[in-house]
Amino acid sequence: MNPLQVARQNWAVGDSREAEARKIDMQIGVEYDSYRRVYRVEGREWIITGQIAKEDGKKYYILECVG
């Protein structure tokens, strides 16, 4: 399952990716650990390190792999 629709499947600590904010906020294919403040996506743990708005009017989070 690829909830964030990214072709890349092999992620390492320190890698970053963009994800549509709506999918993260609604937890579509994502689990959130509120105690540790990490998101679990595709077997990896991610933190939000920034956000951007694109021309399509959508907001995207920049996620960094932490484990």
pLDDT tens digits along 4-61: 556 567 889 999 999 999 989 898 889 999 999 999 988 899 999 999 999 989 999 9
Cβ neighbours, 10 Å, residue 14: 8
Statement: residue 66 has pLDDT above 90: yes
Which pLDDT band holds residue 1 (cuts at 50, 70, 90)?
very low
Give me the residue label for tokens 């959130």.
Answer: 32
Closest C-alpha to 15, from 41, 54, 46:
46
Residue 62 is predicted with a pLDDT of 95
Asked if residues 58 and 20 have their Cβ atoms less than 8 Å apart, the reply is yes
| pLDDT tens column, 23-38 | 898 988 899 999 999 9
